[in-house]
Amino acid sequence: MKKKVILLGAGLIGRAIAVDLNNLYDVTVADVNENALEWLKQNKIKTIKSSASEKNELQKLVKDFDLVVMALPGFMAFNVLKNLIECGKDVVDISFFPENALELDALAKKHNVTAIVDIGVAPGISNLVIGYHAERMKVHRFETLVGGLPVVREFPWEYKAPFSPVDVIEEYTRPARYIENGHLITKPALTDPEYIHFDGIGTLEAFNTDGLRSLLFTMKVPNMIERTLRYPKHIEYIKALKASGFFSDEEIEVNGNKIKPIDFTSKVLINKWKFQPKEEEYTVMRVVVEGEKNGKSQKITYNLLDRYNKATDTSSMARTTGYTCTGAVRLLLEGIYTQKGISPPEFIGKDETCFNFILQHLKERGVDIRKTESK
């Protein structure tokens, strides 16, 4: 009998996860958005209209399933994860929430739960890489550059989002933390812009965002940073909105009504940043690990350039994020990874079998990650 998996969230990335897992397991997708569920129904995937926000309803929803996959907006995901752990359910999560998932580690162990979190592109693949190499060499420097962008650049944003604008704005407003010479450095997001060339793409602009997440607490590497990539000048428009108060969550009064500027901004941008059907885009990432092994210096670089798949009508961000997630689902359901508690991807990457399993899983789905080494 096939293992039963329930997926919470039927967005673009959730769809890719559901389609991939449905080839292997008995999959059901839950969401409150009937339009999102309709696409899945047409592709012969079981659906349930349900909200994950209320604990009692969530408990009833997941009780008959072997595993829960979360692809939810970041603002609600931490509480949902906590509730699922208290239900005693193993979880694989791609939601990008601001809270520290490691705070739930003791709770997960108490309930004998394995919860794999942040298992997407970055965080995700990048964490797997540093987890793997930190076990096998002395790492001095770790850097990730990553972005997802439309092929066609349209004024003024030259950007589209495969997920909620609220989650993107969170990247632009949350202070960016990184490690420099063994010290924690905190700067505003969008700082230290730098132009960087990528083969097959051209010049992109990198800037600071708070992407290291769990690595700040789990890895003892003296220099670590993650930076987001956009087309040049995109951040100038974002800075203007930010400085003008459009990202504020403090209520203001407009014609007798109280609203939060960020709610208004998100409502406007959801259409401006929405990918159109069959719109082509790509995901680009470069991960660099530098250090010493057997007394010799080494530099290891992983390059990823993935594009929208016309044959399956699947975006690159959905492919790279979703298929990394489904690889982790397989690790759990096939008994390859068994560690209890909260597991960020770097814990999985430490194990060579698990690391190679996910890379092979991605390769089989056409996600090509190229590794180069130099001494």
The enclosing H or E element of 266 equals helix 261-272
pLDDT at 14: 94
Alpha helices by DSSP H, 102-178: 105-110, 125-134, 165-173
166 located within any domain:
yes
Region 309-317: what's the mean pLDDT? Answer: 93
pTM here is: 0.93
CA atoms within 13 A on the CB side of 254: 7
Residue range 159-193, pLDDT digits in tens? 998 777 888 888 899 999 999 999 999 999 999 99
Tracing tokens 């992109």 back to the chain, one arrives at 204
| Same structural domain, 292 and 345 | no
Cα–Cα distance between 375 and 373 in angstroms, integer? 7
Number of domains in the chain: 2
Determine the 3-state secondary structure of 63 from DSSP: coil
Please, is 84 exposed, middle or buried when counting C-beta atoms within 10 Å of its C-beta (0-12, 13-18, 19+)?
Answer: buried
Average pLDDT score over the chain: 94
Q: Distance between the two ends of the chain, CA-based, in angstroms? A: 50
202 located within any domain:
yes
pLDDT at 43: 86
| Same structural domain, 262 and 274 | yes
What residues form DSSP beta bridges with 138? 292
Q: Check residue 72 and give left, alpha or beta (phi > 0: left; psi -120 to 50: alpha).
A: beta
374 located within any domain:
no
Q: 169 lies in which domain range?
A: 125-307
73 located within any domain:
yes
Residue range 72-114, pLDDT digits in tens? 988 899 999 999 999 999 999 999 888 999 999 999 999 999 9
In contact, 302 and 370? CB cutoff 8 Å: yes
Residue range 136-149, pLDDT digits in tens? 999 999 999 999 99
| Same structural domain, 229 and 159 | yes
Among 12, 162, 172, 163, CA closest to 73? 163
Q: Note the residue count of the chain.
A: 375
| Same structural domain, 116 and 148 | no
Answer with the one of 307, 335, 358 that is the final residue of a domain.
Answer: 307
Angle between helices 74-86 and 165-173 (to 10 degrees): 100
- CATH code (residue 361): 3.40.50.720
| Listed ranges 121-130, 245-254, 273-282; the one with the highest mean pLDDT | 121-130
| Same structural domain, 143 and 290 | yes
312 located within any domain:
no
Region 315-322: what's the mean pLDDT? Answer: 96
In contact, 140 and 292? CB cutoff 8 Å: yes
| Same structural domain, 301 and 340 | no
User: DSSP letter string over 310-325?
Assistant: TTTTB-HHHHHHHHHH
